[in-house]
Structure 1
Amino acid sequence: MCSIRRPTKFLGMLKKSSRISGVVLRRMHAVGPGGDPDNEYHSRVGRLRFGAGALGLALLAADLVFNEKRFFKAAKVGNLDEIRQQLATSGKNELETENALVNRQHALGWTALMVAAANDQAAAVRELLRLGARHDVRERYAGASVSANNAGLHPLEVLQRREDEFCPTMNARASFLGWTALHYAALSDSSGSATALLEAGADPTARDHAGRRALHYARDPSPTRDIILTHTRKWEEAAAAAAAEERRRFPLEQRLKQYIVGQQAAIETVSAAVRRKENGWADDEHPLVFLFLGSSGIGKTELAKQLARYMHRDDPAAFIRLDMSEYQEKHEVAKLIGAPPGYVGHEEGGQLTRALARRADAVVLFDEVDKAHPDVLTVLLQLFDEGRLTDGKGKLIECKNAIFVMTSNLAADEIAQYGLKLRLEAETRAAQRVGTPQSATLEDIRAKHPVDIPNDTEECLEVTRVFKDTVVQPILKRHFGRDEFLGRINEIVYFLPFSRQELLTLVNLELKRWADKAFTKHSVELRWEGGVLGALADGYDVHYGARSIKHEVERRVVNQIALAAERGSLVPGCGVLLTEQGGRVYLAVRRPPSKDYTPLDLSVI
């Protein structure tokens, strides 16, 4: 016979296993001769006695529960039988499948597949992949200090667990955030693990949190590096072929026009330069550099964002935006590339160099570059001229494949006035084609244009060489003070004021945005008549671009709707119709179940 103290706790532990049979549980609950529930075996907590056979069955049943620690250890030492046995058991709950178990991440971030790859257990890697392990899971271990803080543990405990439960030969203090099993196979020089992962479809171009591929960590020379390099080239060739086919079917111009209102000349200029670069008809020794000129709120920043989306398939790390108004002082160069040795912040690096180290082929936006200190421009000149940059630690960062976009408001007034002149000339020519007299005013000409003219039928306006050389270039030279800086810019792109049709499109888009918000948040249907678009478009300010349209809609439409809601005129399920009379915008409300709109007089308090 055997005695076990705390029988209630022991029974509870055994009951957690879904594999314990009812026979075993009934044997454990036996109350003695006669089944009297009031005898000493049931009422006394002191001791519980049962046969050795029942204890053996109970321990066997408890062993059938998934043991995470044993599972990870089996992956570490390559015990295939133990791996299979653990995955054949039930999880912590009946809904946890075998596939979920094999991909379970350790409390500190890694998976069993990563453990096997890090410890050069190629057979275990193959077995785990066969059992459903995912090769694309990302490591969450961010170093001892950060991981300890995230897990609520002491850093020394995290260090010990990393060495004992993961791999003793890897630096437990370093961050491995974003690593895949292939990264670990490369670092551990496990050619067998790398081969198994790549044959299973692992992506050799996947980057960790620092922007590095698995190839970066492979020993050179080594068979592991050769294997990964071969597959990397195959992936890059396949990706390039797929991208080329997508560009052929869906050109960059077409994609940009989906998100950018107007600016046809700017879109065509940028697309042509990018096409040269993508197809190998550009200078490989220098990055592509743009300078976007024009008023605020006219699409400069949005075009840079959409270019990054196109080039890198929505990867957020591939778009780097730096507000150059934060670099107006001489000492702020260190913030850009990192402080030199011995200075505060040396170990942190610079904002630009850190980002480029992660994605050397990113689209980098230097917003309002005219506000930067001249010493910052010197750094940018080196970057544009050589396609590389040395950070505060002395590390050289190659970025010849990057695309650099600078925006500026220099000559914005001159460009705006010139653009308005071009618009008037274009509208005059369009009016003459439909029979409008040459003596007609601008209002007469616009009245002849229907509201629903598609944007792509409008004339593409081009800035003349005379205007560029005699007006814009002197302003740029006077500000930047150096010809070599301007000489490294591949394309100066001009953003012109919006046409009347483009303004109507902007107003319509802004109203649609508010209509979606009204329906989603308040269950209110918002509609508008065609005359409302023209009335709101009249609020356009050439110096503020699309932002002036946004403010006009908020001031003349949203304010009225908010006031109507405050006065109880709007209820869930109602409809709001915007009307125009004499250049003013009015509200009419339809309350269910009525289908008629009633004008709303908001002047009455």
Structure 2
Amino acid sequence: MAAFQGEQRRRELAERRRFPLEQRLREHIVGQEGAITTVGAAVRRRENGWYDEEHPLVFLFLGSSGIGKTELAKQTARYLHKDVKKGFIRLDMSEFQEKHEVAKFIGSPPGYVGHEEGGQLTKKLKECPNAVVLFDEVDKAHPDVLTVMLQLFDEGRLTDGKGKTIECKDAIFIMTCNAGSDEIARYALQLRQEALEMNKNRLAENLNDIQTEEITISKQFKENVIRPILKAHFRRDEFLGRINEIVYFLPFCRSELSLLVLQELNSWAKKAKQRHDITLIWDRDVMDVLTDGYNVHYGARSIKHEVDRRVVNQLAAAYEQDLLPRGCTLRIAVDDKGNGADEDGLKRAPRLRLEIVEQGSEGRRLDIMEPLSKEDTTFS
């Protein structure tokens, strides 16, 4: 038995050398090199026995919504556990905003309603004590829930409502938090703007040492701006002291946004082919127009919504109006007629159009009817 376990361990180590965690994360997450490197290094220490066995590994992920915090936690669990359903535990902390909801967390004590059911966390940790546990939006949790979490992080064990102790020193705990996300976004955008100006000057002076779009959060910003925000929010130094790594997620740069747009368009092209036998292609400037729809507060979700609003809505309308013959090639292009100004004199974003690509022709524009307005549907 021992020989089998030793051989299995050797095979796992060889597999991880061939496909390190960082490689897996980069396949699923756009950008966030700093976060990927930090998490990969910490997990490697733990997996190879170079860690404090008395305490679990604890991360705090900071940054705006929709930039990969949850996905990084999920892919880490997928890397470490064959059964990801057991190995990844996700708790939405907005469900634990009231004092009495501590019982939902660890289970009700004897004599109370729900005693036999157990807590949402304790029940799952019993099944997989070395799971990756995600506490999503921990800034919304009640202070009494944070007290339970402090015991969990400090001692690596948790006592449930029945009085039973669950050992979970081998678990990895990840908290996501939106506190300070606006400050991080502003600071990162400022650094990128400064790097852009510097590169322009270097190009003008014919210098070759052009900087990449990668930026680094300074220690002064972490200590002078972010730490006071976290202390004011969590109100206890010992809670912050039990966090092994505070990981910063930054807004996307232009090249990363282009990659997100490409992924989204490729996804819809695949669906169009599978569901309707339609080949979907697009011009290069379409990607630039969609990239301009990025909202720093909503991250990758804003790109997804922009593609839905400006491309998929037209596809669905054209399909409903029977304008898309099966087996056709459909091109997305920028409509020059969509330029100009709106009623307030502001520059209007270019419109996108759909064209049927026929052999030997430039493309036939689809005449998609607009949905009826409220006035059109009002009967006298």
Structure 1 residue 275 displacement after superposition:
1.3
Instruction: Give the letter for the 1:308 counterpart.
Output: A
Aligned residue in 2 for 1:574: 328
Instruction: Give the letter for the 2:368 counterpart.
Output: L
Aligned residue in 1 for 2:374: none
> 1:200-279 maps to which residues of 2 (within 5 A)?
231=1, 233-279=2-48
> 1:130-145 maps to which residues of 2 (within 5 A)?
none
Aligned residue in 2 for 1:203: none
Aligned residue in 1 for 2:352: 585
C-alpha separation between the residues in 1 aligned to 2:135 and 2:262?
31
Aligned residue in 2 for 1:492: 246
C-alpha separation between the residues in 2 aligned to 1:590 and 1:415?
45
| Worse overlay, 571-580 or 263-272 | 571-580
Instruction: Give the letter for the 2:356 counterpart.
Output: V
Q: Given that residues 213 and 253 in structure 2 are in contact (C-alpha distance below 8 angstroms), is that contact kept between their aligned partners in structure 1?
A: no
Q: Given that residues 308 and 314 in structure 1 are in contact (C-alpha distance below 8 angstroms), is that contact kept between their aligned partners in structure 2?
A: no
Aligned residue in 2 for 1:80: none
Kindly provide the CA deviation profile for residues 392-418 of structure 1, in whole angstroms up to 9, marking residues without a partner as x.
111111101100000011011001101
C-alpha separation between the residues in 2 aligned to 1:314 and 1:430?
47
Secondary structure in 2 matching 1:543: coil
Aligned residue in 2 for 1:508: 262
Secondary structure in 2 matching 1:540: coil
Match of 1:556 among 307, 310, 313: 310
Aligned residue in 2 for 1:597: 363
Match of 2:64 among 276, 291, 295: 295
Aligned residue in 1 for 2:218: 464
Match of 1:341 among 107, 110, 128: 110
Aligned residue in 2 for 1:61: none
Q: Gapped runs of 5+ residues in structure 2?
A: 340-349, 372-380
Structure 1 residue 436 displacement after superposition:
4.3
Instruction: Give the letter for the 1:461 counterpart.
Output: I
C-alpha separation between the residues in 2 aligned to 1:497 and 1:484?
30
Structure 1 residue 311 displacement after superposition:
0.9
> 1:44-59 maps to which residues of 2 (within 5 A)?
none
Q: Gapped runs of 5+ residues in structure 1?
A: 1-230, 439-448, 450-456
Structure 1 residue 314 displacement after superposition:
5.0
Instruction: Give the letter for the 2:81 counterpart.
Output: H
C-alpha separation between the residues in 2 aligned to 1:436 and 1:268?
34
Aligned residue in 2 for 1:222: none
Aligned residue in 2 for 1:425: 194
Instruction: Give the letter for the 1:588 counterpart.
Output: E
Greater Rg, structure 1 or structure 2?
Answer: 1
C-alpha separation between the residues in 2 aligned to 1:458 and 1:312?
35
Specify whether residues 291 and 302 from structure 1 end up closer, same or farther in structure 2 by C-alpha distance, changes over 3 A only. same
Match of 1:546 among 291, 294, 300: 300
Specify whether residues 324 and 234 from structure 1 end up closer, same or farther in structure 2 by C-alpha distance, changes over 3 A only. farther
Kindly provide the CA deviation profile for residues 350-391 of structure 1, in whole angstroms up to 9, marking residues without a partner as x.
110010000000000000000000000000000000001111
C-alpha separation between the residues in 1 aligned to 2:137 and 2:309?
28
Aligned residue in 2 for 1:71: none
Specify whether residues 426 and 313 from structure 1 end up closer, same or farther in structure 2 by C-alpha distance, changes over 3 A only. farther
Structure 1 residue 511 displacement after superposition:
0.6
Kindly provide the CA deviation profile for residues 39-98 of structure 1, in whole angstroms up to 9, marking residues without a partner as x.
xxxxxxxxxxxxxxxxxxxxxxxxxxxxxxxxxxxxxxxxxxxxxxxxxxxxxxxxxxxx
Aligned residue in 1 for 2:376: none
C-alpha separation between the residues in 1 aligned to 2:170 and 2:244?
14
Aligned residue in 1 for 2:344: none
Specify whether residues 573 and 343 from structure 1 end up closer, same or farther in structure 2 by C-alpha distance, changes over 3 A only. same
Q: Given that residues 419 and 497 in structure 1 are in contact (C-alpha distance below 8 angstroms), is that contact kept between their aligned partners in structure 2?
A: yes
Aligned residue in 2 for 1:160: none
Aligned residue in 1 for 2:347: none
Q: Given that residues 290 and 404 in structure 1 are in contact (C-alpha distance below 8 angstroms), is that contact kept between their aligned partners in structure 2?
A: yes
Secondary structure in 2 matching 1:569: coil
Specify whether residues 234 and 389 from structure 1 end up closer, same or farther in structure 2 by C-alpha distance, changes over 3 A only. farther
Instruction: Give the letter for the 1:359 counterpart.
Output: C
C-alpha separation between the residues in 1 aligned to 2:129 and 2:370?
61
> 1:113-512 maps to which residues of 2 (within 5 A)?
231=1, 233-432=2-201, 435-436=203-204, 458-512=212-266
Structure 1 residue 537 displacement after superposition:
0.4
Comparing both chains, which one has the higher relative contact order based on Cα–Cα distances under 8 Å and sequence gaps of 6 or more?
2
Instruction: Give the letter for the 1:589 counterpart.
Output: I
Instruction: Give the letter for the 1:510 counterpart.
Output: E
| Worse overlay, 234-243 or 378-387 | 234-243
C-alpha separation between the residues in 2 aligned to 1:319 and 1:335?
18
Specify whether residues 431 and 317 from structure 1 end up closer, same or farther in structure 2 by C-alpha distance, changes over 3 A only. farther
Secondary structure in 2 matching 1:410: coil
Instruction: Give the letter for the 1:287 counterpart.
Output: P
Instruction: Give the letter for the 2:239 counterpart.
Output: F
Specify whether residues 390 and 604 from structure 1 end up closer, same or farther in structure 2 by C-alpha distance, changes over 3 A only. closer
C-alpha separation between the residues in 2 aligned to 1:411 and 1:549?
23
Instruction: Give the letter for the 1:422 counterpart.
Output: L
Q: Given that residues 260 and 300 in structure 2 are in contact (C-alpha distance below 8 angstroms), is that contact kept between their aligned partners in structure 1?
A: yes
TM-score by length of 2: 0.89
Percent identity of equivalent pairs: 61
Structure 1 residue 238 displacement after superposition:
2.4
Instruction: Give the letter for the 1:552 counterpart.
Output: E
Q: Given that residues 192 and 213 in structure 2 are in contact (C-alpha distance below 8 angstroms), is that contact kept between their aligned partners in structure 1?
A: no
Secondary structure in 1 matching 2:134: strand
TM-score by length of 1: 0.57
C-alpha separation between the residues in 1 aligned to 2:237 and 2:370?
63
Secondary structure in 2 matching 1:320: strand
Aligned residue in 2 for 1:535: 289
C-alpha separation between the residues in 2 aligned to 1:328 and 1:267?
30
Q: Given that residues 537 and 549 in structure 1 are in contact (C-alpha distance below 8 angstroms), is that contact kept between their aligned partners in structure 2?
A: yes
Q: Given that residues 539 and 552 in structure 1 are in contact (C-alpha distance below 8 angstroms), is that contact kept between their aligned partners in structure 2?
A: yes
C-alpha separation between the residues in 2 aligned to 1:555 and 1:459?
29
Structure 1 residue 250 displacement after superposition:
1.8
Specify whether residues 361 and 235 from structure 1 end up closer, same or farther in structure 2 by C-alpha distance, changes over 3 A only. farther
Kindly provide the CA deviation profile for residues 451-473 of structure 1, in whole angstroms up to 9, marking residues without a partner as x.
xxxxxx94432111110111111
C-alpha separation between the residues in 2 aligned to 1:425 and 1:602?
44
Structure 1 residue 604 displacement after superposition:
7.3
C-alpha separation between the residues in 2 aligned to 1:327 and 1:237?
42
Specify whether residues 406 and 236 from structure 1 end up closer, same or farther in structure 2 by C-alpha distance, changes over 3 A only. farther
C-alpha separation between the residues in 2 aligned to 1:436 and 1:560?
43
> 1:10-21 maps to which residues of 2 (within 5 A)?
none
